[in-house]
Structure 1
Amino acid sequence: MAQNRIAGFRELSNMLRSDQPDPEQDETTTYLFWDGEGKLIGQLPEQSFSTDTALLFKAAPMGETIMTVTIGKHGFRVFEFPNVRQNRGSIVTIGIVRSLDDANSTLRTLLWDICSVIIAGVIISILAGRFLAGRALIPIRNSWDKQQRFVADASHELRTPNAVIHAQTEMLLRQPDHTIEQESAHIALILKESKRMNKLLDDLLTLARSDSNQLLIHRAAVPLGSLIREIVEQFRLLTSIRDVDLSAELQEPLTLWGDEGRIRQLLFILLDNALKYTASSGRIVITARSEGQLVYISVTDNGKGIADEDLPYLFERFYRGDKARSRAEGGTGLGLSIAQWIMNAHDGSIRIDSKLGEGTKVELLFPRRAR
């Protein structure tokens, strides 16, 4: 009788597993066989569960649903249905129990992986966000620092002439009975500092308006040759006083599309700088010629030159390599900043080459027509 039951168990097991591709490897499924009195009469694989444990699976409603049973730390899916071939022995119902340990382990591993990825993603996002925010703030910090430095330098530059004017005025008030001729030296100094202050204020206003795009460029055809000759003649008196030779090498005819007033201002700045730093018996040459679709202008002198460490900072506002001499010459440190803005406004470029003790060459490139 026992052998018949075992044979019946195996036949039913093979029948139930017949739809599986490789039943020999399915170690998570157990078949329980019950008699009409609800007693366990067999299981495949054999001795998978104790009788007491198997009875816990008998509580599943037969043929209604699949139930999950938890025993200790282990979970099982249980399904029970009647045996339609009861002539094979006393097997009345068959229970299928499938372990969920592998699935739960996989889910736990997947959950840990997901949590790890989320945590790593949050950490990477925070670090990347801080890095990108820091990179994005660099130009803002630089702009803020430049603005703060500009305000401080402007205040310092304005304070000097204002202090001189204030002191000289007090000295005039101490001698109310003196004539203008007697106090002419003090009055001349007041006039000189007033002019310096006015020039500084004009330069500051120009740069402030350029930063806010309030200055407009009025483009028109500029006869560059005649403009340069006119400027050279205006500088003749100054160069003759300082015994400096000023000459122009011009290609004729030469026309430039731009703002004549701003180009005149640009050339005045460059010639004024060249004259300030060129000693007696020196030479200044201004050259202008056409180079394809560009107009080339250069101002060359054989003056004192500029130190290599100062070249990268020449276009910064209020920067002066030789501060003592620049202040004595009446410089404000804003000229080259204005020159660079004029070139940018004309879609051009400016370049300075200089060697200490040999001289300086400033090169300008303008497009012949507006872009």
Structure 2
Amino acid sequence: MNTEISRKQRWKFFFINVAAFAGVFLLLGFITLQLLQSSAYRQTDLSLSQMAKNDRLIEMEITRYQEGNPFLSQQQTPDDLQMSNGPEGNNRFNTQIILWSKEGKILNKEVLGGRFTELANLSLDTSHLNSIQSLNLKNSTAESQKLAFHSYTIKYDQDSEVAYVQFLANTNQIADSMKTFETTLILCMVVFWLLSIGLSFYISKMNMKPIMSSWRKQQEFVENASHELRTPLAIIQNSLQQLFTRPENTIMEESEPIAQALNETRRLSGLTNDLLTLARSDSNQLLVQKAALDPQPFIQQLAQPFQEIAAMQDKRFVLENFANETVLVDEKRVHQVLVILLDNALKYTDAKDKIILQSEISNDHWLIEVKNSGASISDEDKKHIFERFYREDQSRSKETGGYGLGLAIAKQVITQHKGKLTVRDWQPQGVIFQIRLPLKN
């Protein structure tokens, strides 16, 4: 892939990740603050609304105002005291009850005592009766300090000079805690967002790795396929050109170049079929059509021609056909895989070598092993043996007639069956290819 294109793509991934992290952090912070604010003031607002419904508490406050006795609540009966200090009562250290006249004047100034100086800037607001309101007042004793309150105002309909009753709860402590939490949350979000920038760069780099790996494999595939296609095409072209240079010759006289062209055409046809199989597999178009199959006659019939070939080449072919349960596979595809493995076993063994085809049922799996006592495969080659166009010697010779696609096709077919194809050494010398297919889907 072009370096400039890959760099642009990496930076694109980077900015997308940074934006995603920023969006997540902002959303998380907003939701956290909203939930905390609603829960922080919930108890205070509930207390104010309950106090507004407590008629005895209101009457007691009016009595205190009328008698000018701020300590009147301490002279109440135990029942009154319990209601005054209970969950619905008045917390005298945090809440105040303000009695208003129709003209908007505070009536119980004397009862409020020194606390009235903090409420000197308070004014009556009758537009939001029977609802919680937030108020901010300047402290007359310290103008730089602001006092925060939640307020609940009701209209007093009794025949009295008191027209409105306002319940105030100081929320400075809650507000200060919220500011501290908000500052801490913002700092944490900034710090973690900065960390996410580094993480985004790392993620963008990691995201590019499979893309670059796929691009390199595609390049290698195209280069190898081009090379493999070029050779038979060149041979066919040369053979046909020779025919044109000797137009007076008969077919029998030119049988050798014709046979060579036909042979390369067959090889080219096989190569294109293999390439088409791999391309369909890559695009998920290589469908596996599973059906019930009796493995014993299937293996017996498949092995027969290879037994004959092995006998002609003075090689020992042993068939161990033990599988006796019905399996659910694509017969055509499994046949293709076994042909590839048995064909390789014949190609890479010499006279007197032994080839074993073993089939058995084990732990809900159909196990098929193709063993041969030929040359072993190094550990390094085992890592790449199922890659396309891979050969152990990396040569382009056609001594074995292969293109390095067979094992890649076999691997993909078995994988689509939800099975496994593995390779290991056969002691003291040789190779074992094992296929493990599940009996059911």
Task: Give the TM bin, normalised by the shorter chain.
Answer: 0.5 to 0.7
Change (3 A) 1:107 1:233: closer
Q: Residue 358 of structure 1 aligns to a residue in which SS?
A: coil
Change (3 A) 1:287 1:356: closer
Change (3 A) 1:227 1:123: same
Alignment equivalent of 2:383, drawn from 312, 316, 320: 312
* CA offsets 1:271-326 (integer angstroms, 9 cap, x no match): 00111100122211101111131111111111122122100011111111134376
Aligned partner of 1:288 in structure 2 is 359
Aligned partner of 2:296 in structure 1 is 225
Alignment equivalent of 1:193, drawn from 264, 270, 288: 264
Tell me how far 1:133 sits from its aligned partner: 2.4
Q: Quick one: distance in 1 between partners of 2:288 and 2:356?
A: 27
Tell me how far 1:76 sits from its aligned partner: 7.5
Q: Residue 363 of structure 1 aligns to a residue in which SS?
A: strand
1:337 and 2:432 matched: no
* CA offsets 1:203-227 (integer angstroms, 9 cap, x no match): 1111111222222222222121112
Please give the TM-score of this superposition, normalised by the length of structure 1: 0.67
Q: Residue 324 of structure 1 aligns to a residue in which SS?
A: coil
Aligned partner of 2:240 in structure 1 is 169
CA contact (8 A) 2:373 2:426 kept: no
Tell me how far 1:199 sits from its aligned partner: 0.6
Aligned partner of 2:195 in structure 1 is 124
Alignment equivalent of 2:422, drawn from 351, 361, 364: 351
* CA offsets 1:163-202 (integer angstroms, 9 cap, x no match): 1211222222222222223322222221221111111111
Change (3 A) 1:236 1:123: same
Aligned partner of 2:393 in structure 1 is 322
Change (3 A) 1:76 1:356: same
Gaps of 5+ in 2: 1-92, 94-118, 123-136, 147-176
Change (3 A) 1:326 1:163: closer
Tell me how far 1:270 sits from its aligned partner: 0.4
Aligned partner of 1:52 in structure 2 is none
State the AA in 1 paired with 2:247: P
Aligned partner of 2:369 in structure 1 is 298
Q: Quick one: distance in 1 between partners of 2:121 and 2:397?
A: 101
Alignment equivalent of 1:142, drawn from 213, 222, 229: 213
Determine what percentage of the aligned residue pairs are the same residue: 36
Tell me how far 1:356 sits from its aligned partner: 10
State the AA in 1 paired with 2:219: Q
Aligned partner of 2:26 in structure 1 is none
Change (3 A) 1:109 1:64: closer
Q: Residue 311 of structure 1 aligns to a residue in which SS?
A: helix
CA contact (8 A) 1:326 1:332 kept: no
Q: Residue 357 of structure 2 aligns to a residue in which SS?
A: strand
Q: Quick one: distance in 2 between partners of 1:109 and 1:215?
A: 62
State the AA in 2 paired with 1:276: K
Tell me how far 1:243 sits from its aligned partner: 2.1
Greater Rg over alpha carbons, structure: 1
CA contact (8 A) 1:300 1:359 kept: yes
* CA offsets 1:119-174 (integer angstroms, 9 cap, x no match): 43332121111222222332233223222322222122111111121122222222
Change (3 A) 1:343 1:258: same
Gaps of 5+ in 1: 1-20, 22-61, 70-74, 78-105
Q: Quick one: distance in 2 between partners of 1:217 and 1:111?
A: 59
